Amino acid sequence: MQSKIKALAKERNAIILAHNYQPPEIQDLADMCGDSLELSRKAAQTDAEVIVFCGVHFMAETASILSPDKKVLLPRLDAGCLMADMITAEALQMKIASLPPMPVVTYVNSTADVKALSTICCTSANVVQVVNSLPQKEMLCTPDRNLAMYAASKTGKKIHVWDGYCPTHEWLTKEDVAAAREAHPNAVFLAHPECRPEIVDMADVVASTSGMLRHVAQAKEEEFIIGTELGILHPMQKAAPGKKLYPASKKMTCNNMKKISLEDVLKSLEEMSGEVKVPEEIRIPALGAVQAMINLKI
């Protein structure tokens, strides 16, 4: 199946991108795996005519925003993001109208029409630098309240928080982390900034998925408790073969990230189906926010 997909991808001049949470067989098939920031950079730079995005809907939209002349395929159009669904453009418009003028920093885990109303995007890898890059001391950060609170704690800026969250990360409790620490007293605890503030406070390292991968591969320590979606364990074990990895909680799985199968990728390439295309009237303002982030080169 994998060689059939690869041959067809070559024929179609397609690149296959996969997020670090995708099922192992999808990550092993992909031309490139990464976190949201790396994947959006790759989507902006590739020479391929077709981008097969193995991730969730907002990621394919970001690729379409950056590469309007390419065909962007999401092999399962129903792979959404529960956090991205916690904000709409209409609700954001009302929130903006209720506040004094201030920049809107929007996590890439959001729909294109929400990005279109935003000043700049950020990812979990660069939120602190994005917030610090703005001259203003006060801003609205959407849609992830946990990421916003993390940015506020790191920058000292006044951040208005949108009340969204990622259920997969919200499930991780202090009790889970305490139990994992007790079971593995020598392990380093890594948390994703989508986790609740009390979990982030307990962490030795706070990083995006690729930041976690790099840390575990380079660290001198041998044992790690991983506070993010379970899919990360596959690339992490590949990047750090001899090291011991323990999930902070086995509940941390995102069903949307597990929807795409090899059969779906093959079908999508055969039929060129599952296209995600952002209409120009939304793409242009959304591009402003995504490009502002990419231009920071962080």
Site string for ligand 13P, 86-105 (x = CB under 6 A): --------------------
> Exposure string (b/e) for 211-241, b if CB count within 10 Å is 16 or more?
bbbebbeebeeeebbbbbbbbbbbbbeeebe
**Rounded distance between C-alpha atoms, residue 270 and residue 265, angstroms:** 9
Residues from 5 through 64 that contact ligand SF4 (CB under 6 A): 56
Q: In the bound complex, what is the minimum distance in angstroms from residue 232's beta carbon to ligand 13P?
A: 8
251: its two tokens? 């509940």
298: its two tokens? 């962080």
* Binding status of residue 106 toward ligand 13P by CB under 6 A: no
Residues from 25 through 44 that contact ligand 13P (CB under 6 A): 35-36
In the beta sheet, which residues pair with residue 16? 52
* Binding status of residue 124 toward ligand 13P by CB under 6 A: yes
Residue of 123, 126, 146, 155 interacting with ligand 13P (CB under 6 A): 123
CA distances to 70, 80, 168, 208, 264 from 227, in Å: 35, 21, 10, 11, 29
**What sign has the CA pseudo-torsion 70, 75, 76, 79?**
negative
Q: In the bound complex, what is the minimum distance in angstroms from residue 3's beta carbon to ligand SF4?
A: 29
Residues from 47 through 76 that contact ligand 13P (CB under 6 A): none
- Which strands make up the sheet holding 205-206, listed edge to edge? 205-206, 188-191, 223-227, 244-247
Q: In the bound complex, what is the minimum distance in angstroms from residue 37's beta carbon to ligand 13P?
A: 6
Binder of residue 225, out of ligand 13P, ligand SF4, none (CB less than 5 to 8 A by kind): none
Contact of 2 with 195, CB cutoff 8 Å: no
Q: Which stretch binds ligand 13P (CB under 6 A): 121-129, 147-155, 261-269, 289-297?
A: 121-129
Nearer to ligand 13P, 5 or 58 (CB): 58
Residue of 208, 227, 248, 293 interacting with ligand 13P (CB under 6 A): 208
281: its two tokens? 């009237």
* Binding status of residue 109 toward ligand 13P by CB under 6 A: yes
Q: Which stretch binds ligand 13P (CB under 6 A): 86-94, 119-127, 177-185, 261-269?
A: 119-127
* Binding status of residue 121 toward ligand SF4 by CB under 6 A: no
**Rounded distance between C-alpha atoms, residue 19 and residue 257, angstroms:** 8
Q: Which stretch binds ligand 13P (CB under 6 A): 45-53, 118-126, 146-154, 267-275?
A: 118-126
Nearer to ligand SF4, 136 or 255 (CB): 255
- Which has the closest alpha carbon to 81: 207, 147, 168? 168
Q: In the bound complex, what is the minimum distance in angstroms from residue 112's beta carbon to ligand SF4?
A: 15
3-state secondary structure 84-104: HHHCCHHHHHHHHHHCCCCCE
Site string for ligand 13P, 166-195 (x = CB under 6 A): x---------------------------x-
Contact of 54 with 66, CB cutoff 8 Å: no
**What sign has the CA pseudo-torsion 224, 183, 124, 257?**
positive
Residues of this chain that interact with ligand 13P (CB under 6 A) are 20, 35-36, 109, 123-125, 166, 194, 208-209
Residues of this chain that interact with ligand SF4 (CB under 6 A) are 56, 81-83, 109, 166, 168, 229, 254, 256-257
